[in-house]
Structure 1
Amino acid sequence: MSGPSGVGIECHDLQSNPRFLFRQPRALQWFENGRLVKRSEDERQAGRFELFLDLLYVAILSNFADTLVEDISGAKLVKYILILSPSWHVWSDLRELMNSFYNDDLFQRVLILWVMATLVIYGNNAPLVDEDIGAMRSAVGAYMVARITCNLAHLYYSFASYHHRAQQRLWVGLSTLCLCIYIPLYFESVSIRSKIATAAVAIFMEECTWIFCYCPAAKKLLRATYTTAVDINHEVDRYAAFYIIALGEFLYLIIVGSHAAIGLNDRLLRAIWTLIIAFCLNWLYVHNDGSVQNDHPLRHSIYTAFAFALIHLPLIASLLAGGHVAAASVAEHEFEEPQRWLLCAGLGVGMICLYIFALMHGSKDERGTLILDKPLRLIMRPVTGIIMILLPLARHLGATSILSIIMALIVFCTLWETIASLRKGACFWERWEDTQYPEKTLIRGDTAKHEEASGP
């Protein structure tokens, strides 16, 4: 995922001829004998159909979080993690494909639509897997079809372009074998405990397979001249988009149903506090580690690159659950005990994940460049996270009080990092200069009027 600077290929070499409905898939970047080569040096952004895919995930994630909050228990939390992870894997599959081979032809658009159709089936049935065998079979079947579809796309692309061929075929073979682990979930005779264990093993094996197939060890094992590389700008853009989807869970329920309507009231206050919490969480994600110059985890090293990808699942899962409870509090009078723990633990774990996320950025600043060095700048993330996790122990606190404390902690952490990330000797207010129109503009205007009046 990282490597030396690449050699660019001109933009006109990209496959973008509008005369063809189906274009030849061409790798957009790759490593050739350890040297990064990019087909174009232009900065890539997420395609419109990738963003359309994200819209479906807004509904899927909201449905999963809503199912958890309806009946909070240890078993429901395990189910929430086990049904959220496969949906993340499908999204990751499409992200990988579009990062390496995006050409926006008819095949790719139909591929996205087909996978979205399977996700509609999965998103509707996954919350019911512990209640009905039909829902279990539908969810598992839809997931397997989505993953196999993406694997077939990888296989098809491996014939069209040799640059990722070795690792693509290794991935197709191993990931398809991992899908076979899910087969016992179809059988009614298998107990629910055994199915939980089976799903957990399958998800773990899928994560390990992805790491192995794209790590340096696999490249050495395959002895491939050409190996995979990613477009870092596109990758960062896609992960940030999914993070925004999770934060959307904070905002949806504070409006829908108009529970905070009519005057100033406690519910309106909780809605505003939830908005501020989500805004600050987005601020902290964008802020990274606050360094003037740093290496993104995808560039810093292969270990931080994989860690960056892996940390997003627990980060999103925790914030999604905590955010749903925070937003749902607008419609409730008080929290029940499980809701208190899910809210505080979800947001607390999310803050700790954001701390790990920031640590993975490699700071290039010399010591003393900023007001506080990196360890002290970031220390408030784990501190506020731990305080929030322990907050439910104060049983006398009501819903408004808990949200107020959480909001104050996160706002304090955000302001701490923002101020601590200023250069030493920085001022809080920049002096205003050049606020008057320059005299040259007036002279040019007068000259133009004079010429117009005098005529040719």
Structure 2
Amino acid sequence: MPEALGIEENELKAQNPRFLLRQPRALQWFEHGRLVKRHDCERQAGRFELFLDLLYVAILSNFADTLAEDISGAKLVKYILILSPSWHVWSDIRELMNSFYNDDLLQRLLILWLMAVLVVYGNNAPLVDEDIGAMRAAVGSYMVARVTCNLTHLVFSFASYHHRRQQRLWAGLSTLTLCIYIPLFFENISIRGKIAAAAVAVSVEEILWVFCYCPAAKKLLRVKYSTAVDVGHEIDRFAAFYIIVLGEFLYLIIKGSNAAVGLNERLLRAVWTLVIAFCLNWLYTHADGSMESTHPLRHNVYTAFSFAMIHLPLIASLLVGGHVAAASVAEEDFENPQRWLLCEGLGVGMMCLYFFALIHSSQDERGCLVMPKHVRIIMRPITGLITILLPLAHHLNATEILSVIMAMYVFVLVWETVGSLRKGACFFERWTDTGYPERQSQDVETKDAGI
């Protein structure tokens, strides 16, 4: 159990409006392997974190739209390479707010500054293969955002000692890694060379993040105090980003009123897209369907890192799949590239949701539910594989493809929901205690009598 420190002085400072700039203090940390929390209260996403998410709605939509307009292998590589850096910046902000959130003037201005830099990145990143100016603006803005976050970590390491060594290790290595992006500024380097440099840089950044916060780094640094996360806040932030991605399913089925007027085939595709998004949201929330389970962030370090890293391919795949599904409302039928992008995106997304369920550790007694865990979630990879291969059925049109996918996802949802019931459970609970309590009725009558 984590130990909470009731520090009244800090609480008073946090509530005092005269402190425009507050001392950044670690909210939780490990001390000799024991989790310590500064305040024993549940963390939720701050208003300015949610405001940041609004910008990502536009950024992600712009990236998906760019890919959907010209679908090819090269454009898919570009999509992955421009989406990953934007995810890294969001992750940097998430970690800073998770560990040092105090909602002072400095942190609010930090979010505003990073959002302004992301506006530059979001506008230029889709054009990196067309204009060297856009390439330089996108890479430069990304490097500015990462350096800003690294400098923030460095400054915070002087204000609070609990994460100091790991923060400085991450800030140093992360800043050095940005040098790999330097070749992207030069016009005489081929596009293939720039793709290779960007791919190496993105991969190294992922590896370094895992290294700097894994137990091996803690042993190497011989730390007494080490980083810890507020699990509730982390879960909340990842779920919020997932909802942003699902918003891509819903935006285009309304924009432009393409499904009007009356009942028509386009309206059917719009409704099917909505149902698919609803099922994906349900499956993410449902996790592995256990009555009691240990979240990956709480289970062990391997499942914790897996939980964080699985979200990048999950959002990347569902973002493009959802965009094509929603965009079909405005089209007569799918072209072959759109057909493949839709099915591969949704199929890979379902595969990621299967892995997402696997890393949850069920604590249920054996045989207490209708189906054991692996039987409950087995339909996810089966459905994902069928979805991936669905474009091979060339005779299916857009409405039929969406109908098949929708039917499979609804089946998975029903399968897992029924399989997660306790054995002997009833479908309907009897309604009891629907009448007013007798004592309360007598009190009312007494008052009416004026007694």
* TM-score of the pair, normalised by structure 1: 0.97
Q: Render the CA deviation track for 1:236-267: whole Å, top value 9, x for unaligned.
A: 00000000000000000000000001110000
- What residue is the counterpart of 2:385 in the other structure? 386
1:266 aligns with 2:265: yes
- What residue is the counterpart of 1:104 in the other structure? 103
* Matches for 1:329-408 after TM superposition, within 5 Å: 329-408=328-407
Tell me the CA shift for residue 449 of structure 1: 2.4
Q: AA paired with 1:21?
A: L
- Aligned residue for 1:25, secondary structure, equals coil
Q: AA paired with 1:155?
A: L
- What residue is the counterpart of 1:125 in the other structure? 124
- What residue is the counterpart of 1:34 in the other structure? 33
Tell me the CA shift for residue 6 of structure 1: 1.2
* Matches for 1:162-241 after TM superposition, within 5 Å: 162-241=161-240
- What residue is the counterpart of 2:433 in the other structure? 434
- What residue is the counterpart of 1:252 in the other structure? 251
- What residue is the counterpart of 1:280 in the other structure? 279
Give me the whole-angstrom Cα distance separating, in 2, the residues matched to 1:217 and 1:126.
35
* Matches for 1:59-74 after TM superposition, within 5 Å: 59-74=58-73
- Aligned residue for 1:36, secondary structure, equals strand
Tell me the CA shift for residue 11 of structure 1: 6.4
- What residue is the counterpart of 1:9 in the other structure? 5
Give me the whole-angstrom Cα distance separating, in 2, the residues matched to 1:132 and 1:215.
39
- What residue is the counterpart of 1:48 in the other structure? 47
Question: Aligned residues: percent identity?
Answer: 75
* TM-score of the pair, normalised by structure 2: 0.99
Q: AA paired with 2:2?
A: G
* Matches for 1:138-177 after TM superposition, within 5 Å: 138-177=137-176
- What residue is the counterpart of 1:316 in the other structure? 315
- Aligned residue for 1:308, secondary structure, equals helix
Q: Render the CA deviation track for 1:15-67: whole Å, top value 9, x for unaligned.
A: 50321110000000001111110001100000000000000000000000000
Q: AA paired with 1:441?
A: Q
Q: AA paired with 1:336?
A: E
Give me the whole-angstrom Cα distance separating, in 2, the residues matched to 1:98 and 1:369.
40
- Aligned residue for 2:36, secondary structure, equals strand
Q: AA paired with 2:415?
A: W
- Aligned residue for 2:344, secondary structure, equals helix
Give me the whole-angstrom Cα distance separating, in 2, the residues matched to 1:280 and 1:96.
29
Q: Render the CA deviation track for 1:267-293: whole Å, top value 9, x for unaligned.
A: 000000000000110000000101011
Tell me the CA shift for residue 10 of structure 1: 2.1
Q: Render the CA deviation track for 1:291-321: whole Å, top value 9, x for unaligned.
A: 0111000001100000000000000000000
Give me the whole-angstrom Cα distance separating, in 1, the residues matched to 2:182 and 2:327.
37
- What residue is the counterpart of 2:288 in the other structure? 289
Q: Render the CA deviation track for 1:65-109: whole Å, top value 9, x for unaligned.
A: 000000000000000000000000000000000000000000000
Give me the whole-angstrom Cα distance separating, in 2, the residues matched to 1:11 and 1:126.
45
Give me the whole-angstrom Cα distance separating, in 2, the residues matched to 1:328 and 1:10.
53
- Aligned residue for 1:412, secondary structure, equals helix
Give me the whole-angstrom Cα distance separating, in 2, the residues matched to 1:179 and 1:376.
45
Give me the whole-angstrom Cα distance separating, in 1, the residues matched to 2:196 and 2:7.
49
Whether the 8 Å CA contact 1:251–1:327 is kept in 2: the answer is yes
Q: AA paired with 2:152?
A: A
1:325 aligns with 2:321: no
- What residue is the counterpart of 1:76 in the other structure? 75
Whether the 8 Å CA contact 1:371–1:421 is kept in 2: the answer is yes
- Aligned residue for 2:29, secondary structure, equals strand
Aligned length: 448
Whether the 8 Å CA contact 1:8–1:38 is kept in 2: the answer is yes
Give me the whole-angstrom Cα distance separating, in 1, the residues matched to 2:247 and 2:153.
31
Q: AA paired with 1:190?
A: I
Q: Render the CA deviation track for 1:94-147: whole Å, top value 9, x for unaligned.
A: 000000000000000000000000000000000000000000000000000000
Give me the whole-angstrom Cα distance separating, in 1, the residues matched to 2:40 and 2:353.
30
Q: AA paired with 1:275?
A: L
Whether the 8 Å CA contact 1:11–1:42 is kept in 2: the answer is no
**Structure 1 outlier segments of 4+, above 3 Å:** 11-15
Give me the whole-angstrom Cα distance separating, in 2, the residues matched to 1:390 and 1:186.
40
Q: AA paired with 1:276?
A: V
Give me the whole-angstrom Cα distance separating, in 2, the residues matched to 1:224 and 1:437.
61
Tell me the CA shift for residue 379 of structure 1: 0.4
- Aligned residue for 1:30, secondary structure, equals strand
Q: AA paired with 1:273?
A: W
Give me the whole-angstrom Cα distance separating, in 2, the residues matched to 1:359 and 1:280.
18
Give me the whole-angstrom Cα distance separating, in 1, the residues matched to 2:82 and 2:374.
36
Q: AA paired with 1:102?
A: Y
Give me the whole-angstrom Cα distance separating, in 2, the residues matched to 1:442 and 1:99.
50
Whether the 8 Å CA contact 1:293–1:365 is kept in 2: the answer is yes
- Aligned residue for 2:257, secondary structure, equals coil
Give me the whole-angstrom Cα distance separating, in 1, the residues matched to 2:383 and 2:67.
24
Give me the whole-angstrom Cα distance separating, in 2, the residues matched to 1:245 and 1:368.
37
Q: AA paired with 1:94?
A: I
Give me the whole-angstrom Cα distance separating, in 2, the residues matched to 1:299 and 1:339.
39
Give me the whole-angstrom Cα distance separating, in 2, the residues matched to 1:349 and 1:62.
19
Q: AA paired with 1:402?
A: I
- What residue is the counterpart of 1:449 in the other structure? 448
Unpaired segments of 5 or more residues in structure 2?
Answer: none
Q: AA paired with 2:60?
A: L
